[in-house]
Structure 1
């Protein structure tokens, strides 16, 4: 018999409670694989599972796919490459590389760009929406937009389904394998999985935005240290800027995308899983744009006539729940080329920590190196039938600051999709799939698991 799990939220002393009447919930879908969350990990997971022959449903709270890449608008896709003085080399291939190629076809990227000691792929968020639609449609993935996971069903330790609230009410999906790609680890938390959520020591969120009216040629001549110096002069003039170093990317004429705000509450990051604090953070992020608009107009060359062209539809959350998995990725793994027998992805992205103060802490990997991510980080401890892929996977705070980025999420999602499809077809648990078969399938798809040397520069 299925158990119905719906954990309560944090209870305040002043809260009153009411009881909902019992109701029957229709089971609307019964796919082989259910993917919850349509961000980078979710797109890759759903596509990979469908290409493996599984029937797949992906559920997303927005009306489009892409997650942070299209809802927040990140400016560039991080984590795709390892960098040495001579080469920029992909360490995320497979579906991640296919997405980059499709973006090129749409004119949605101009190719990898070096900055600091790393590189990322500037992209156009609207082009990415089209690429995501194409990938899932061609693969036969079924879509359910504008719905949020609100509860799960379980049989003992196995998650058997997820209950959603959509525009047409509450309904359920029962599936052989379920993948939590929500970023916040929503399904895993509803299922009772353990997780870490250290708000005071977490990463600060950011409101992303794009300036129009920019002299892009002049703006591109400004190095990151020079931009920092310009904004420090703005602070010295009396402007209140929470951050004076950040990313600036251009994929459209006369516009620059900025990743430069920093949202803190009483000196610490807000709890983005709390409605009140998240709402206040959204407003604060937009408030900061006024100061940045003045600072760029007055102190940064090329931005004299700039204006706010658009603002991300949602604040960019870097860290919330980190689910406790069978293995917890550590800082030592990240910085010392961690290797694992059950490796399903690789990353070369630095530790990138956005805390208090105006600076960002960067710890770069040795040039041309990478670390592996094991399948066990995606298996919630004590829970069956469920994988977590993306930034909610199992990692320490410091390791998470490296593995959370979109490029790495593509790789983790693709692996999760293959595992889930194989588990569904063989009638076994995701924890008990034949890993040799998973590995062989990922390699056949072009994924990089760390077997060869980094000899394929872009």
Structure 2
């Protein structure tokens, strides 16, 4: 059965220079960078906090941030001041208190005079041929329209680009399979003798501990990591395979199953000697999707770029992270693989942030233009932040020239990133 929705007039609530859709690490960075340059910016976020996977997703890691300055470095400094203690070093990045990050991102947006709307989801677009002129939203205020000159898709799943009819790729090039999703948890009461799962052997040992109480984790490299807050740890024990970014039913079933798996794992571990005080503090309010749409841009970052360590004149971010490809289906003893791909530090060129179909649409974060294997490297949040910064800078340049993202000289964006201290 089909129902015809009645046509209706929608009120235009506001007009902006730049409308950023998605308030995760990429989107909030784009909005802050643009706002600081005087760009009249609206940031639309579907949940009730900024930070996305950092906050709602309870993954308080900024991976691949060691060589990053700019906003990545500023966040670290401001978190130290706000928390009263520094973020905790781990691997190629750092861990932080997700509640402190929520407050900090609010403050940074207010300081930059960015208009933020929570609980507001983009559900459609207004466009004239190959140009976006507005977005249609649904939220507590009902169905509304915001018009703008420039637009940034920082939704992670490329939702805005899809509404606009842009071309995109999804999943493995041969099978279409997606990397699994995960639901992260915060736990407390970890025994003093337990150490973090830093190595593959550590993770295997933790999985064996889970098996000793009758739990076979769907994530075969289960993790346990300290947060900067004393006694608070993050726990990762699950993989949800085959979860589609564009299926509410799929995501709902996976979320319920993952939540039950986490709860059961904590409950079973509590039966072990020394684990009596082990408790689940919270599970993330959103399932962590590793993959969605990869929107086609003016350039597509490829696995060859990673292997050859390719640099570009319009390179706006230097990625050092490995190919972190979580196995596409359950395989005993395996969690994430590199498929033998050895990564040399490589650039994300500005061109890969600009839609090849709509000139006034840019992307930042994991929905930029890249192939399946490249995406498995650049998708981490230490790279999403400078991508967002570059979009904010490019928006300012485009407005100054009365132009759009497609006509901005990416080399000038790269220069501005270097001026901000980015090592490229």
Structure 1 residue 336, shift from structure 2 partner: 2.6
Please identify runs of 4+ aligned residues in structure 1 that moved more than 6 A.
364-367
Distance (Å, rounded) in 1 between the aligned partners of 2:274 and 2:254:
29
Q: Which residue of 1 aligns with 2:135?
A: 162
* CA displacement at 1:271 relative to structure 2: 1.3
Of residues 321, 329, 340 in structure 1, which corresponds to 2:301? 329
Q: Residues 12-23 of structure 1: matches in 2 within 5 Å?
A: 16-23=1-8
2:60 counterpart of 1:60: no
Equivalent residue of 2:204, what SS? Answer: helix
Does residue 392 in structure 1 map to residue 380 in structure 2? no
| Distance in 2 (alpha carbons) for counterparts of 1:297 and 1:223 | 22
In 2, Cα distance between equivalents of 1:385 and 1:167:
28
**Deviation for aligned residue 1:240:** 2.4
By how many angstroms is 1:156 displaced?
1.7
In structure 1, stretches of 5+ residues that fail to align are 1-15, 82-89, 451-458
CA drift of 1:384 comes to: 1.7
Q: How far apart are 1:233 and its partner, in Å? A: 4.8
Residue 29 of structure 1 aligns with which residue? 14
Residues 1:119 and 1:108: Cα distance change in structure 2 (over 3 Å): farther
**Residue 146 of structure 2 corresponds to which residue in structure 1?**
173
2:411 paired with 1:421: no
Q: Structure 2 CA distance, aligned partners of 1:187 and 1:67?
A: 16
Structure 2 CA distance, aligned partners of 1:221 and 1:141? 39
CA distance in 1, matches of 2:189, 2:148: 49
Find the residue that maps to 1:72 and give its secondary structure. Answer: coil
Distance 1:164 1:112 in 2: 38
Residue aligning to 1:187: 160
Aligned partner of 1:372 in structure 2 is 347
1:234 and 1:259 map into 2 onto residues whose CA distance is 12
Match of 1:402 in 2: 377
**Is the aligned partner of 1:136 residue 2:113?**
no
Task: Give the Cα–Cα distance (whole angstroms) in 2 for the partners of residues 437 and 202 of structure 1.
Answer: 35
Structure 2: gaps (5+ residues): none
1:339 corresponds to 2:311? yes
Query: 2:153 touches 2:362 (CA, 8 Å); kept in 1?
Result: yes
- Asked if the contact 1:109–1:122 (Cα under 8 Å) also holds between the matched residues in 2, the reply is no
- Cα distance per residue 1:166-216 (max 9 Å; x no partner): 11111111111111111111110000001112385211000000112223x
Whole-Å separation in 2 of the counterparts to 1:169 and 1:223:
47
Q: How many equivalent residue pairs? A: 415
Q: Distance in 2 between matches of 1:211 and 1:302?
A: 15
- Give me the CA root mean square deviation: 2.2
Further displaced range: 139-148 or 231-240: 231-240
2:326, 2:337 within 8 Å by CA — same for their partners in 1?
no
Match of 1:249 in 2: 226
Rounded to whole Å, the distance in 2 between the matches of 1:237 and 1:126 is 32
Per-residue Cα deviation, 1:264-296 (whole angstroms, up to 9, x for no partner): 2xxxx2213101111101101111113421454
3-state secondary structure, aligned to 1:45 = helix
Deviation at 1:112, TM superposition (A): 5.0
Cα deviation, residue 438, structure 1: 2.1
Query: Is 1:220 paired with 2:195?
Result: yes
Q: TM-score, normalised by structure 1?
A: 0.85
CA distance, structure 2, for counterparts of residue 324 and residue 222 of structure 1? 37
The partner residue of 2:183 within 207, 212, 216 is 207
Which residue of structure 2 aligns with residue 87 of structure 1?
Answer: none
Q: 2:76 aligns with which of 100, 120, 124?
A: 100
In the alignment, the residues of structure 1 paired with residue 238 and residue 321 of structure 2 have an alpha-carbon distance, to the nearest angstrom, of 21
Give the secondary-structure state (helix, strand or coil) at the position aligned to 1:416. helix
TM-score, structure 2 normalization: 0.92
Tell me the SS of whatever aligns to 1:344. strand
In 2, the alpha carbon distance for the partners of 1:223 and 1:393 equals 30
Q: Check whether the contact 1:66–1:129 (CA below 8 A) recurs between aligned residues.
A: yes
Structure 1 residues 447 and 226: alpha-carbon distance in aligned structure 2, compared to 1, 3 A threshold: closer
**Partner Cα separation in structure 1 for residue 265 and residue 60 of structure 2:** 17
CA contact (8 A) 1:35 1:46 kept: yes
CA contact (8 A) 2:310 2:346 kept: yes
SS at match of 1:163: strand
Match of 2:254 in 1: 281
**Partner residue, 1:78:** 63
Residue 411, structure 1, aligned to residue 386, structure 2: yes
Q: Hey, what does 1:240 align to over in structure 2? A: 216
The match for 2:417 among 405, 429, 442 is 442
Asked if 2 retains the 8 angstrom alpha-carbon contact of 1:349 and 1:365, the reply is no
Structure 1 residue 74: deviation in Å?
0.5
Distance in 2 between residues matched to 1:182 and 1:24, nearest whole Å: 26
